[in-house]
Chains A and B, each alone.
Chain A
Amino acid sequence: MMNPQIKIEDLHKCFGELKVLKGINLEIEKGQVVCVIGPSGSGKSTLLRCINRLEEPTNGKIIVDDIEITDPKNDLNKTRRHIGMVFQQFNLFPHLTAKQNIMMAPLELRLKNKADASRKAEELLERVGLREKADAMPRQLSGGEQQRVAIARALAMEPDIMLFDEPTSALDPEMVGEVLAVMKELASMGMTMVVVTHEMGFAKDVADRVLFMDEGIIMEEAAPAEMFSNPRNPRTAEFLKKVLNP
């Protein structure tokens, strides 16, 4: 059997006195889409940010593609190239056009020459439906467009894992759909995805597994159909009741 693509063992994270993650164990297979749900402050985002070590784990082990990324000897910059990340606040580079945003990292890291990077950027813009916005500055784009460029920017590094940190939470409601559509397409192409989200519809339709987190641990984990129709943990049931029937 193949090793899981992401393997997390007994992950702990403290911010000073505050314990945010209290022992996470998780395995994610290649091509799986895993949605992480839970109340705010439950540690969902922190878990995600530990996977590419934007947060330094306090304790525990994270293995991605058979490389232990929590090993201090590991070249983090190399590892991160394979792990794309999409942020709640998009974080596009405001001084660069949409296309330059996408080309910047492959060029700076000398993975592509200018012509190839440009071709790839156009292809990605096409894929997220923003071909005509190549030369627009981020501030000229709507939130939904910015987030789609941000996804394209992450894809330009040709990652085999994509992390999404509440990618639609900062969007106006009418723009949520266009971003989720791009994510759905990505999932259908076999991308391994870990998605922290409040979009229960997306979790239901797209996820292979749903994790419910609360108070720094994974309280429940199940296939979406089961999680949403028949939650076992009373905390999960309570949370779902609140978000599904507000």
Chain B
Amino acid sequence: MDLLRVFGEVQPLLTKGLWITVEVTVLSLMLALVIGLISCFLALSKRAPLRWISKVYVGLVRGTPLLVQVFYIYFAIPQLLQLMGFDLRFTPFIAGLITLTLNAGAYLSEIFRGAINAVNPGQMEAARSLGLSHAQAMKKVVLPQAFRICLPSLVNQFIITLKDSSLISVIGLADIMYQAKIYVGRSMEAFATYTWVAIYYFVIISILTQVAKYVERKVSS
């Protein structure tokens, strides 16, 4: 029950786990931004089959729990590949990265789509009336405004993904949560350990929130 004593023992483990958490979160968010943008443009396409690709992708991700998605990528897909004659296994890190990327990508796709739709259609018309192509009008007029609109939701998704990454510990990714479980299993210090885990997450997210507030002020002024 001694918080400070436990901290001395658990701190190196949690810090080691923290780097894994940050690494998997940052990498997956960077990839998710790309996937989210692509899916968003598919969703806004004039061609119905392209819109369907995005719809099915977003629907599957939204319609299933993240935990099921992790198990699916880590256990189910490799077995399927094995039956098809490929011997491919993911490390927990790669499986976690894929899961978080696909998961965040779907939500970001919806966030981007909502933001682009929220830009007044008169903006696109004004740009087109000056002779800009659709792509030029998107680039110079619609997307800069959509970016400002989606910034708060974007930050929110970053925070959600950071927290969701703790679920990846169930397949053995050695993140903060995993390290904590190992330590508790050994020492039985559940209260102190998980208190420190909560504080770790809370501090990172608070820092992230402050940075986001600063960026938001910067772009809206």
Contact = CB atoms under 8 A, between A and B. Distances in A.
Interface of A: 52, 54, 77-78, 80-81, 83-85, 87, 89, 91-95, 104-105, 108-109, 150, 153-154, 157
Contacts of B127: 93, 105
B59 interface: no
Max chain B Cβ within 10 angstroms of own Cβ: one of A54, A104, A108: A108
Interface stretch (B77-85, B139-147, B152-160, B204-212): B139-147
B133 A77 contact: yes
B145 A78 contact: no
A84 B126 CA distance: 10
B120 A77 contact: no
Ranked nearest first, the 5 interchain pairs of A and B with the lowest CB-CB distance are: A81-B131, A91-B126, A105-B130, A85-B129, A91-B122
B130 A157 contact: yes
8 contacts: A81-B131, A84-B130, A87-B125, A89-B122, A91-B122, A93-B123, A95-B145, A105-B132
Contacts of A104: 130, 140-141
Interface residues of B, number: 18
Given A104-B140, A108-B140, A91 B125 contact: yes
Contact of A93 (B126, B128, B148): B126
A87 B129 CA distance: 10
Given A91-B122, A91-B123, A93-B141, A54 B128 contact: yes
Contacts of A77: 128, 131-133
Max chain A Cβ within 10 angstroms of own Cβ: one of B126, B131, B133: B131
B136 interface: yes
Contacts, number: 59
Contact of A87 (B122, B133, B148): B122
A157 B128 CA distance: 12
A109 B132 contact: yes
Nearest to B142: A93
A78 B141 contact: no
Contacts of B132: 77, 105, 108-109
Contacts of B140: 104, 108
A77 B129 CA distance: 8
Contact of B128 (A80, A108, A109): A80
Given A87-B122, A89-B122, A81 B130 contact: yes
Given A92-B126, A93-B127, 10 more contacts: A54-B129, A77-B131, A80-B128, A80-B129, A87-B126, A91-B126, A94-B145, A105-B127, A105-B132, A109-B131
Contacts of B136: 108-109
A80 to B, nearest CB: 4
A10 to B, nearest CB: 24
Interface string B82-116: 00000000000000000000000000000000000
Contacts of B128: 54, 77, 80
A80 B136 CA distance: 14
Contacts of B126: 85, 87, 91-93, 150
A77 B131 CA distance: 4
